[in-house]
Amino acid sequence: MTQSNNFTALSACLMVFFLMSPIVIQSVSGNDKYESEIQTITKCLEDLTSSSVDIRKRAVLILGKYSHSAAKSAIIRSLRDDDASIRRSALVSMTETRPFPENSRNEVLTMIGDEDVHIRRIASSYIPDIMGFGRTFIRIRGQIRTHQFPPDLQLIIKKAFTDNDSIVRKNMITGYQHFKGIIDNSTILGLLHDSDRDVRILALNAISSSLNHAEFVNQTKFLENDSDKTLRLHYVKILARLNITLTINILKSMTDDDDFEISTEALIILFENNNFSYYPELKKRLSNHRISQISGTKIIRKLGFMKDGGEAELIALFSHKNIGFRELALQTYGDYFWKTANLNLLIDLLDDPLQQIRSRVTYVLLRNGKLDMRDLQRLSMSHYSDIREFVITYSKRLDNVGAMRLLIDLIIDDDNSIRIKALMEIINRRLDNWQELLAQTLMDDEDEIGGEMVRMIRVSNNKETIAFVRGILEISENKKLLDILNHHNRFQHPAVIHRR
């Protein structure tokens, strides 16, 4: 199409408009070398009337750089240029000065039917931008309606869903929500048979939100045999969200899938829906290096709900080669079977070289609360400081006599932090001889421990204890510790307690 006449008249009008406009934008640089924005745009508008493709293209390239409404309008008009390279150039220019002008929506959508495949691809990829993210409908007099399109544009949109280019088809399905009013489900269902895997996946996503569960299962069950693994995996994950009574047969069939990930996913969904007979197979898979941490997590957590044998299966996992699974098994055991926990087994696990395993075990033991004094005394001699610390924590559950029996040994622990924590526990509970023990620590022990003790006592804000400590320090004239007690160094970072 030739636009010479229209453009000549238009550019003349624009010149008049510019000259009369009070807001005349001058060159930013203030340098006479550069034109004003209006001068540059006017030159380009005149060029758009040229019969030369090169000159029109130059004009479109430059106009795309300006957000002035005259430049934008000219770009929109250039979408109808006879030459495909100009149309493509204009289309690309549309994105440079966002947002898209409201009046350009239909113009851009029309490009989805262009003869040039690259134009169709670019135009269809703009759908989310020109339609607006999430703006799938409009309200008219309180009624919700989908976007309205002129009949000729509706035809272009419908045709684009079956475009011979797979990229255009993908773009169209991605923007399907905007066209629900004119595209029926049968079009999307047809795309489930598309030759392109990604188109099929996108169609599957689109249709899963359009049909009710029963209809969805009915219309898509053939996908369990799709040739593409990614699609089948995607399909089984969608099935996981649906009612199991509708999907159970498909899932059972998919447990035989050649692909490890897909069959495992199907097994897990069945297992999660209380089909515990699938556990022996899943148990084997937990030892397979291909199983993901997420899948393993789902299986192990579900064992907590398995009344018959779940506890034994979790215990079996305590020695699993996958450390993450061991941790998870212990956590699940602690969450669901803490009341009946096997204490001897757990105590043995406290010798595990991994701290996070020991930590999980102590969680179960604390929750269970049935350790006897002999076990606790043995644990207070553990070569792991976190276990000795656990004993201090556990002593809170004991009466004063029992607690003192444990803590008295720990106040001479090799680890300064354990000594301090044990002593603080004695002080806080006012156990026998707490004053004597505290005085001895402050007077005899190294300043590092004394300093940390004083800090903790100050933080505890117990007036009686603070008064007692102040008395001791004044007698011993320990100015350094007194300073700490008197907040003189409150903003200093507490000294690091080194372990011996």
Partner 1 sequence: MKLNKADGNPDNNSVVHDITRLELNGSRDFSFYLKKSFLLIIFIASITVQSDCLAINPVNSHDAQRQLSIKKSGLPNVSIVQLIQGKSIHRNYPNALPTLLSAINDRTTVKINKDPVIISSFEDPIIFQHPFIFVNFGDRKDWTLSEMEKRNLRKYLERGGFIYIDAGINAEFLRKNRSHGQHHSFADWEASPVIKDAFKQVFPGKKFLPLKRTHALFKSFYSGLPDPGNLPDSVRDFVIEEKWPQGTYSAVAMSVKGRIAVLATPIISMGWGKNHLGNWSTTIRFRIRESTTGLSDYLGTAAYSGDRYESTREDGGRDVIYCQNDALPAWVNEPHNRWRVFRYYQSREISDFAHVFYTRLGTNIFMYALTH
Residues making contact with partner 1 (CB under 8 A): 25, 27-29, 33-37, 39-40, 43-44, 54-55, 57-58, 61-62, 64-67, 88-89, 92, 95-96, 118, 121-122, 125-126, 167, 170-171, 197, 228-230, 234, 289, 322-323, 353-356, 383-386, 415, 499
Structure tokens at 316: 């079996």
Peptide bond into 99 cis (omega under 30): yes
Give Cα separations from 341 to 345, 366, 369, 373 (angstroms).
9, 11, 10, 17
Tell me the closest approach of the beta carbon of residue 4 to partner 1, in angstroms: 19
Which runs of consecutive H residues, i.e. helices, occur in 34-116? 37-47, 53-63, 69-78, 84-94, 105-110
CA distance 253 to 245: 14
Tell me the closest approach of the beta carbon of residue 33 to partner 1, in angstroms: 6
Tell me the closest approach of the beta carbon of residue 220 to partner 1, in angstroms: 17
Q: Which lies closer to partner 1 via its Cβ, residue 228 or residue 447?
A: 228
Q: Which lies closer to partner 1 via its Cβ, residue 229 or residue 458?
A: 229
Tell me the closest approach of the beta carbon of residue 264 to partner 1, in angstroms: 16
Q: Which lies closer to partner 1 via its Cβ, residue 172 or residue 438?
A: 172
Structure tokens at 104: 């350009």
Q: Is residue 87 a contact partner of residue 93, using CB atoms and an 8 Å limit?
A: no
CA distance 422 to 416: 10
Three-class secondary structure of residue 29 per DSSP: coil
Tell me the closest approach of the beta carbon of residue 429 to partner 1, in angstroms: 25
> How do beta strands 143-146 and 137-140 pair?
antiparallel
Give Cα separations from 438 to 442, 443, 464, 490 (angstroms).
6, 9, 13, 22
Beta bridge partners of 415: 499
Tell me the closest approach of the beta carbon of residue 375 to partner 1, in angstroms: 20
Q: Which lies closer to partner 1 via its Cβ, residue 370 or residue 499?
A: 499
Q: Is residue 241 a contact partner of residue 217, using CB atoms and an 8 Å limit?
A: no
Q: Which lies closer to partner 1 via its Cβ, residue 90 or residue 407?
A: 90
Q: Is residue 326 a contact partner of residue 359, using CB atoms and an 8 Å limit?
A: no
Tell me the closest approach of the beta carbon of residue 157 to partner 1, in angstroms: 17
Give Cα separations from 471 to 433, 439, 459, 480 (angstroms).
17, 10, 18, 14
CA distance 388 to 424: 15
Tell me the closest approach of the beta carbon of residue 40 to partner 1, in angstroms: 5
Q: Which lies closer to partner 1 via its Cβ, residue 375 or residue 389?
A: 389
Tell me the closest approach of the beta carbon of residue 62 to partner 1, in angstroms: 6
Write the DSSP symbol of residue 494.
P
Tell me the closest approach of the beta carbon of residue 379 to partner 1, in angstroms: 14
Write the DSSP symbol of residue 211.
S
CB-side neighbour CA atoms (13 Å) of 294? 4
Q: Which lies closer to partner 1 via its Cβ, residue 55 or residue 408?
A: 55
| Rounded (10°) angle between helices 400-410 and 385-395 | 160
- Rounded to the nearest 5°, which phi and psi values hold at 15? -60, -45
Closest CA to 75 of 94, 95, 56: 94
Q: Which lies closer to partner 1 via its Cβ, residue 121 or residue 455?
A: 121
DSSP for 63-81 reads HTT---HHHHHHHHHHTT-
Tell me the closest approach of the beta carbon of residue 121 to partner 1, in angstroms: 5
Q: Which lies closer to partner 1 via its Cβ, residue 55 or residue 398?
A: 55
Tell me the closest approach of the beta carbon of residue 36 to partner 1, in angstroms: 6
CA distance 193 to 417: 67
Q: Which lies closer to partner 1 via its Cβ, residue 54 or residue 432?
A: 54
Structure tokens at 166: 């797979």
Q: Which lies closer to partner 1 via its Cβ, residue 169 or residue 302?
A: 169
Q: Which lies closer to partner 1 via its Cβ, residue 44 or residue 438?
A: 44
CA distance 29 to 461: 66
